[in-house]
Amino acid sequence: MDLGALATELRRITVAVLGSDHVAGAGVAWAPGWVVTNAHVARESHVTLQRADGTRAEARVMARDPEEDLALLHAPRLNGADATLADNGEVRVGALIVAVGHPFGVRGAMTAGIVHAVGPLVRGGRPWIQADLKLAPGNSGGPLADAHGRVIGVNTMIAGTLALAIPVSRVVRFVAKAR
């Protein structure tokens, strides 16, 4: 697989969360009919999702945790591929990673970088996958994936030039509790 193929694969599992007149952020097709995004992306009780092929589906926000900054969306009529998840124990500093999202509204844009570190930013803080990779508004809620195309985290924040993603293990825990 090359970077182009990796981008194509990840675009298939990345949705756009649409606001009234703009793209509010991205989401990860987690399981058939279910999408995960950031809580700060899904602010209403209902949102519209759009796949890379243009198809749209309405979704209901089933669970929203502002502290964790995660939301689980139920979209029964959303068809298409779902994410393959990585095991967070395997994430190595220096490993190649890619993010797909809609930075500044640019649909399905990919950025590449490496794992900067894994862990909290300050002692006692929550753990992040810290990425040496460019993110921008519109990437929120989208996938951070390894060179296999497996999702290792959900892109959430920017700290200076550092990208921060919620580790997939925490997302799995959130989804299990919410469903």
Partner 1 sequence: MDALLALSDGLAAAVQRAGRALCAVHARPRVPSSGVHWRSGLVVTASHTVRVEEDLTVVRADGRSVVATLVGRDPALDLAVLKVEATELPVADLGESDGVHVGHMVLALGAGPRASWGVVSAIGPARSRHAETDVFSLDLTLYAGFSGGPLVDARGLVVGINTSGMSRNLQLAIPAKVVSRVVDQLVRHGRIPQAYLGVGTQVVRVPETVREQLHLAQETAVIVIEVQPGSPASSGLLMGDVVLALDGHAIADPFDLRGVLRPERIGQRITASVLRGGQRLDVPLTVGERPPRSR
Q: How far is the CB of 82 from partner 1 (least distance, A)?
A: 22
- Interactions with partner 1, residue window 99-138 (CB under 8 A): 113-117, 130, 132
Per-residue binding letters, 2-31, with partner 1 (x by CB under 8 A): xx--x-------------------------
CB of residue 162 to partner 1, shortest distance in Å: 7
Spatial distance between the Cα atoms of 60 and 1, rounded to a whole number of angstroms? 35
Candidates 143, 54, 43, 145; CA nearest to 91 is 145
- Indicate the DSSP class of residue 83: P
Task: Give the residue numbers marked as catalytic.
Answer: 40, 69, 140
Report the DSSP beta bridge partners of residue 34.
31, 74
CB of 114 to partner 1, least distance (A): 4
* Segment interacting with partner 1 (CB under 8 A) among 15-23, 39-47, 65-73, 155-163: 155-163
- Closer residue to partner 1 (CB): 75 or 163: 163
What is the C-alpha to C-alpha distance for residues 113 and 107, in angstroms, rounded to an integer? Answer: 19
Selected binder of partner 1 within 161, 173, 177, 179 (CB under 8 A):
161
The reply to whether 89 sits near partner 1 by the rule CB under 8 A is no
Least distance (Å) from partner 1 to the CB of residue 93? 5
Structure token digits, residue 167: 């580790």
Region class of 25: left (phi > 0), else alpha (psi between -120 and 50), else beta: left
The total number of residues written for the chain in this structure: 179
* Torsional sign, CA 94, 133, 176, 36: negative
For partner 1, the binding residue among 65, 87, 147, 179 (CB under 8 A) is 147
Distance between CA atoms of 176 and 179, rounded to whole angstroms? 6
Residues in contact with partner 1 by CB under 8 A are 1-3, 6, 92-96, 113-117, 130, 132, 146-148, 160-162
